[in-house]
Structure 1
Amino acid sequence: MTQPVPMTEVWRGSLLESLHLGHAVICDDTGQIVRSWGDPNATIYPRSSCKMIQALPLITSGAAARYGLNSEHLALACASHSGAAIHTDRVSAWLDHLGLGDDDFRCGPQEPSDMAARDALILADTVPCQMHNNCSGKHAGFLSVAQHMGAGPEYIDIDHPVQQACLAAFEEVTGEESPCYGIDGCSAPNFATSLHGLARAMAWFASAADRSDRQSEAAQQLTAAMMHHPELVAGEGRACTELMRAMNGRAAIKTGAEAVFVAIIPERRMGVALKIADGATRASECAIAAILVSLGILDPEHPATRKFMNAPVLNRRNIDCGIIKPAAGFP
């Protein structure tokens, strides 16, 4: 097995303080590897980086059309949001439209990472609900599909029609049979695949305009929604939101827990998938920015880029103490 390679360095002064290793793959529209680092066959859980795959049945089942869902709903279905009002207000309205409520979710409550939303809960002397969960948009999509199918309420169960539809879509676009699944932080199944399979899936999304089948049309809609509403996919200050804004509709990107990151690049018909071995998000954010810069999709001098790649290490007094940057020779 090929070992992970250095991807991100953290320097403090003149000393290399930390080094993050990982694997990454770039695929073309035929599913072939254009370039790889580390082991392209490494099996991983994509975690939240694959939400656009899990959202495919929302469209292909007919649920999105039945309930009049627009691009904002589709972006939220792909989101790992911050729990800000722009997220929870929309999710709440979505549930109301379905005739459902917070208790119908199975994702669990989560304290919002958005500071204004967190402060509002504290001031109101209340606790977070499931709508604050970063995956509540995805789960609203699951509920939409379940209701459209007339299926039962336990939509996160592995044998539920919603999750079986997600598995079928996942294996189709990765081009691989998933060897296993784990339970994600939001309680939904997360299907394993190789890094090559995940990059192949992103390239499939990137080249969807070349095809006219229903699944590919759904992929186009989801990719466009992510690029059009970057603030809904993550939130202010977050890498997905800031880097997509910086690329101005040239790519859709999505992070996942344990330092997974993917990119869909329609103009190049390419997909990218990477995984940092030690699970450090700061490293995956730097590495995806570096790859996007190398592909000419992201401006290396854009302020958003500089926030995540060649980023200063600041102390409590805002003194510049070091730098987070791509490892020597990467990419």
Structure 2
Amino acid sequence: MTAPENLVEIWRGSLLESIHTGHVVVCGPDGEIVHNWGNADALVYPRSSAKMIQALPLVESGLAERKRLTDAHLALACASHNGARIHTDPVQRWLSDLGLDDAALRCGAHAPLDTKERHHLIREGKAPCQCHNSCSGKHAGFLTLAQSLGTDLEYADPEHAVQKAVFQAIDEVTQFASPCFGIDGCAAPNPATTVHAMARAMAFFASADSNGDARSRAAVRLRNAMMQFPELVAGEGRPCTRLMRACQGKAAIKFGAEGYFIAILPEQQLGVALKISDGSTRAANCAIAAILVKLGVLNPNHLEAQAYINEPIKNWRGMQTGWMRTAATLQ
């Protein structure tokens, strides 16, 4: 099938009001397609769901070990975090250990997604800093690599040695030569790749062996760091954190902007890539939860599974007016 497939339905009363279409690929350890909905060859930006690949050069090079980066550091390198203190404090310490501060980051500043921290800044009359950016952990990793390479610190430049290493890693683990890149919200370049290629890369992470070569060992450490610290990968109330906790160590999960999701399933050596065509976050949340149930790593009766797969739609009075559910193709 080359067209997007119906994945998520929005019902209001007895009427099907909206349909979200998209593409999903599940790959096995050899890169073969195990399940496919929609167009496996759709070329899209994986956005922040590619962060574990972007962190590969940092770990594969041995630099993470030489710098004594902990698994918490690596979870932050893969994170799109809330900007809560549990996120910003370690990023600030990481920068300090490099002899740098917030000004060295190139991700830009935005208000923290964490309500408590956002209200604290308002009460204090302070503006958010770049460490509050959801991607500050990834950028701290980029800075670490840039320093070790002895280059300038303009690491977000697509021609910089850091990004060349990242581009090479992405092409190699996806087994796909990216034809183009876009600039992400955090100013870092984001190479486009197919949904199949991204699922193949996630299957590599899932089947990576701690006794393998440097890249395989790096992949194991990154996926395990994500599963060990789901609260650092996103934060309280966020789908990545909630679903990883619900999967109880059976999946590393990462969202990307515009309706993208990946999942790494080590026990089954499966990799998942999912893209909602219209970029809907709510549809992506629903679809990835359904896929995790289908693949047996998420209990369908778990409250978190039900929260996303059969999410009620309520109006401002609290009345349920409809519900969101997976289309028949995913059930």
TM-score normalised by structure 2 residue count: 0.98
Per the alignment, residue 87 of structure 1 pairs with 87
Per the alignment, residue 121 of structure 1 pairs with 121
Task: Report Cα offsets for 1:282-302 as digits up to 9, x if no partner.
Answer: 001100110110111101111
Per the alignment, residue 104 of structure 2 pairs with 104
Paired residues for 1:224-235 under 5 Å:
224-235=224-235
> What is the rounded CA distance, in whole Å, between the counterparts of 1:329 and 1:174 in structure 2?
26
Per the alignment, residue 305 of structure 1 pairs with 305
Quick check: 1:15 aligned with 2:19?
no
> What is the rounded CA distance, in whole Å, between the counterparts of 1:87 and 1:210 in structure 2?
27
Per the alignment, residue 327 of structure 2 pairs with 327
Root mean square deviation of aligned Cα: 1.0
Verify the 8 A CA contact 2:43 2:194 in the aligned structure 1.
yes
Report the secondary structure of 1:57's partner residue.
Answer: helix
Is 56-65 or 276-285 further displaced after alignment? 56-65
> What is the rounded CA distance, in whole Å, between the counterparts of 2:250 and 2:318 in structure 1?
33
Gaps of 5+ in 2: none
Q: How many angstroms does 1:53 deviate by?
A: 0.2
Is 63-72 or 264-273 further displaced after alignment? 63-72
Verify the 8 A CA contact 1:61 1:145 in the aligned structure 2.
no
What is the aligned length?
331
Residue identity matched to 2:158 = I
Task: Report Cα offsets for 1:63-119 as digits up to 9, x if no partner.
Answer: 212221000000000000011111001111111111100100000001111100100
> What is the rounded CA distance, in whole Å, between the counterparts of 1:275 and 1:38 in structure 2?
10
Residue identity matched to 2:235 = G
Report the secondary structure of 1:11's partner residue.
Answer: strand
Q: How many angstroms does 1:319 deviate by?
A: 2.1
Verify the 8 A CA contact 2:21 2:276 in the aligned structure 1.
yes
Q: How many angstroms does 1:210 deviate by?
A: 7.2
Per the alignment, residue 217 of structure 1 pairs with 217
Report the secondary structure of 2:304's partner residue.
Answer: helix
Residue identity matched to 2:237 = G
Per the alignment, residue 261 of structure 2 pairs with 261
Per the alignment, residue 75 of structure 2 pairs with 75
Is 186-195 or 316-325 further displaced after alignment? 316-325
Is 138-147 or 59-68 further displaced after alignment? 59-68
Gaps of 5+ in 1: none
Which structure 1 residue ranges, 4+ long, deviate > 3 Å from structure 2? none
Residue identity matched to 1:171 = D
Report the secondary structure of 1:322's partner residue.
Answer: strand
Quick check: 1:173 aligned with 2:173?
yes
Verify the 8 A CA contact 1:112 1:118 in the aligned structure 2.
yes
> What is the rounded CA distance, in whole Å, between the counterparts of 1:174 and 1:296 in structure 2?
25
Distance 1:105 1:258, change over 3 A: same
> What is the rounded CA distance, in whole Å, between the counterparts of 2:184 and 2:211 in structure 1?
32
Per the alignment, residue 293 of structure 1 pairs with 293
Distance 1:211 1:28, change over 3 A: farther
Quick check: 1:245 aligned with 2:257?
no
